[in-house]
Amino acid sequence: MSVPEVGDLTPVHVAPIARRSRRRSFAVLAVLALAVVALLSQGLLRNLNYFETVAQAEAHRATLGTRQLRLEGIVEAHTISRTNDGASFWLTGGKYRVFVRASGSPPQLFQANIPVVVVGHFVNAHAQRFNASQIMVKHSANYIAAHPKRVTAPNGTAR
Amino acid sequence: MTKTLLARLLGPLTLALLALTFGLGLWVTPPDQVQGNLVRLVYVHPALAWVALYVSFGTATIASVLYLWRRTRSATLDRIGACAMEVSVVFIALTLITGSLWGRPTWGVWWAWDARLTSTAILGVFALAYLALRRALDDDETRARRSAVFAIIAAINVPIIHFSVLWWKTLHQGATVFTANRTLLIHGSQAWTLLVSFVAFTLSFVWLLRARYRLEVTRDQSRQRDFNEALAQRRREGARP
């Protein structure tokens, strides 16, 4: 097959659609860069440590005042009581304990002896009482199989 | 022969292992002491995160490093990097979605701005930015070089995500499998099912990557054919008196 003789090979005009597509891609890149900045400033840099433990909060009570914070501790056994608008319980961390009065329905896994993060504020700079608007359960990384039907109840049913 | 057989077996084997994972996860493994039946998401979410962060993003990063190294530079590596990053976007999205579905009943919230979740979301944005960057550049070599550099820079986020639960206080739980003292924090049939899920989702990544790579090769060949035809046409036009 013979190749035809080359004549005028002036570059063809680039279709506007290709340029538009490129511009759109650069615009998407710019939006994504803004998204990263927003995520970094909103999420990561503000919340590198998502919560303060009960012990840490107690150590900084003077500076914390009544400002909003996330407080982490273990729900003390036999202290949970349901209130009209939520629940109240004692939260422990090391040798410290704080009384929490939370509004709103607690999460499904909320129970005694489980770590939780409560969002709210201390009622004043000295009291051990914390008013929370939200409870989050912080479950552990351990997975232990429940063994149902291994215990026979007095009425003969397996539990 | 062996290569063809392996390639043919890849799809059915992946589907069989995924079915085995779901079968074991839904019917064979017991509920958890604390989480009850919610624990069954452990056979999906960590495996998806493993593929998203380490397998697919890792493949894209290694391919990018090898592309930038002159001795190994090839269009194949550029294609592998791009395809792995595309698959990575899918797995990062699935990781975030399943994590959110798990978080609502366990934590009590769909989303928390903690270090683990936020850094994973940032990785997703990086992966999307990589794909946008590739579309923004016309020249093949420039595109391959710049996107490879971008992938390597973005990969710095992967160890940050991994160690975020150790470095900072997060709502997200710590490591269950890759613990600092190599102690597996999951028991019995739960651990075996978790292992099967990791293999199943890793194979699904290989399957998807292979399919996406073949599509990319076909597209490149088609593009080359179109280019040759256009060139021949221009030559014919130029040769006319």
**Average confidence (pLDDT) over A56-62:** 87
Average pLDDT across chain B, whole number: 91
Note every long-range contact of A61-68, with CB atoms under 8 Å and residues 24 or more positions apart, other chains counting.
Answer: A61/A122, A61/A125, A61/A126, A62/A125, A64/A122, A64/A125, A65/A122, A65/A125, A66/A121, A66/A122, A66/A123, A66/A124, A66/A125, A67/A121, A68/A119, A68/A120, A68/A121
CA gap A139, B48 in Å, rounded: 20
Chain A residues near residue B105 by CB distance under 8 angstroms: 107-109
In DSSP notation, A55-104 reads: HHHHHTHHHHTT--EEEEEEEPTT--EEETTEEEEEEEETTEEEEEEEES
* pLDDT of A155: 65
**CATH top-level class for A52-137?**
mainly beta
Domain extent listing, chain A: 15-48, 52-137
Q: What is the pTM of this model?
A: 0.85
CB contact under 8 A, B35 and A110: no
Q: pLDDT by residue (tens digit) across B101-139?
A: 999 999 999 999 999 999 999 999 999 999 999 988 888
ipTM: 0.81
Q: What is the pLDDT of residues B150-166, one digit of tens each?
A: 999 999 999 999 999 98
Structural domains of chain B, with CATH: 18-239 (1.20.120)
Do the Cβ atoms of A36 and B129 come within 8 Å?
yes
Helix (H) or strand (E) holding B19: helix B2-23
| Beta carbon pairs, A and B, within 8 Å | 163
Residues of B in contact with A44 (CB under 8 A): 115, 118-119, 122
